[in-house]
């Protein structure tokens, strides 16, 4: 909940910033951590936060790519940008990120790093499937545990976790990926109620198909897809106000089209969708 002083600050927003940008920074600044920030949705989150005046810690595997992103974020308005090249699927990946940020006043974590696979599970590359669980689930749990403890000590903060439209039913030919997102969805819902008394906001962002490097890595073809720009800002605006956001028209359309079906019916629909998106694909 905002204090009287914070509300007064919003009413006198600095030139160049919108009231919403100032509210966001007052609620969750001055520093934010964004994982998966080298491209796609994670990059768009970092850009929106830079435009709102956040200093940023951006994390992904490709250091050269992150350095280029950091230059753009500084130009967009980020006072400071720290680059952390790290593989969150590796045993010490999360520990490295937490250690690097220890001295910073982090108020927001956007856990956007993740990847998917597609194809029949019994033909899948098992080490890759287990790596996906590490990145999509284990790393998120570790990060949330570390930063939520810090947020409690500082009196507030925000956790924004990437769920998905596929989190709400089983998805044939993406069974393991959908299961990782179901884990994140349930995790976020529980954490929001648990952490609210400590002033910590938690949001699950559940978009539909998005134009990014995800589809290429997952060997999927997307006929309709939203842009990352359609996802990031609406999600940031929902943080602290909702438990789950389905940003963009496509996510809402798909949600409404599936809402009245029983769970088994949604599974059958998703099976048809995945057959069309993964013709000839293998994990």
User: What gap in Å lies between CA 28 and CA 109, rounded to an integer?
Assistant: 9
- Looking at the annotation, which residues are catalytic? 177, 181
pLDDT-flagged residues of the chain (< 50): 1-13, 218, 280-283
User: What gap in Å lies between CA 129 and CA 5, rounded to an integer?
Assistant: 49
209, 225 in Cβ contact below 8 A?
A: yes
User: What gap in Å lies between CA 48 and CA 78, rounded to an integer?
Assistant: 10
Rg of the chain (C-alpha set) = 18
- pLDDT at position 33 is 98
- pLDDT at position 11 is 45
- pLDDT at position 135 is 97
- pLDDT at position 283 is 39
Tokens of 253: 């359309």
User: What gap in Å lies between CA 41 and CA 209, rounded to an integer?
Assistant: 11
The long-range contacts involving 89-94, CB below 8 angstroms and separated by at least 24 positions, are 89/131, 89/134, 89/135, 89/139, 93/139, 94/139, 94/142, 94/143, 94/146
32, 53 in Cβ contact below 8 A?
A: no
SS3 125: coil
pLDDT tens for 120-166 read 999 999 999 999 999 999 999 999 999 999 999 999 999 999 999 89
Q: How many angstroms from the chain centroid is the CA of residue 22?
A: 21
SS3 199: coil
100, 57 in Cβ contact below 8 A?
A: yes
Cα-Cα end-to-end distance for the chain: 46
- pLDDT at position 144 is 98
């Amino acid at each position: 909940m905002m204090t009287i002083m914070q509300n007064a600050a919003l009413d006198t927003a600095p030139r160049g910033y919108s009231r919403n940008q100032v509210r966001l920074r007052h609620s969750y600044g001055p520093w934010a951590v964004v994982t998966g920030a080298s491209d796609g949705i994670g990059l768009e989150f970092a850009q929106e936060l830079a435009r709102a005046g956040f200093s940023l810690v951006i994390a992904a595997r490709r250091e050269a790519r992150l350095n280029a992103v950091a230059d753009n974020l500084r130009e967009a308005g980020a006072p400071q940008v720290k680059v952390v090249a790290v593989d969150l699927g590796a045993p010490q990946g999360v520990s490295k990120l937490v250690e690097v940020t220890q001295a910073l006043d982090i108020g927001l974590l956007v856990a956007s790093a993740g990847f998917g696979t597609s194809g029949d599970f019994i033909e899948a590359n098992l080490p890759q499937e287990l790596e996906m669980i590490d990145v999509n689930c284990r790393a998120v749990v570790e990060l949330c545990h570390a930063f939520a403890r810090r947020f409690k000590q500082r009196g507030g903060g925000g956790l924004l976790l990437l769920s998905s439209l596929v989190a709400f039913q089983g998805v044939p030919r993406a069974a393991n990926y959908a299961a990782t997102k179901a884990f994140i969805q349930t995790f976020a819902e529980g954490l929001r109620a648990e952490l609210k008394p400590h002033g910590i906001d938690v949001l699950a962002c559940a978009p539909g198909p998005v134009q990014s490097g995800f589809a290429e890595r997952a060997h999927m073809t997307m006929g309709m897809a939203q842009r990352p720009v359609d996802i990031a800002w609406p999600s940031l605006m929902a943080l602290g106000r909702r438990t789950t956001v389905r940003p963009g028209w496509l996510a809402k359309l798909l949600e409404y089209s599936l809402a009245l079906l029983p769970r088994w019916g949604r599974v059958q629909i998703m099976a048809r969708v995945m057959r069309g998106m993964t013709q000839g694909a293998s994990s």
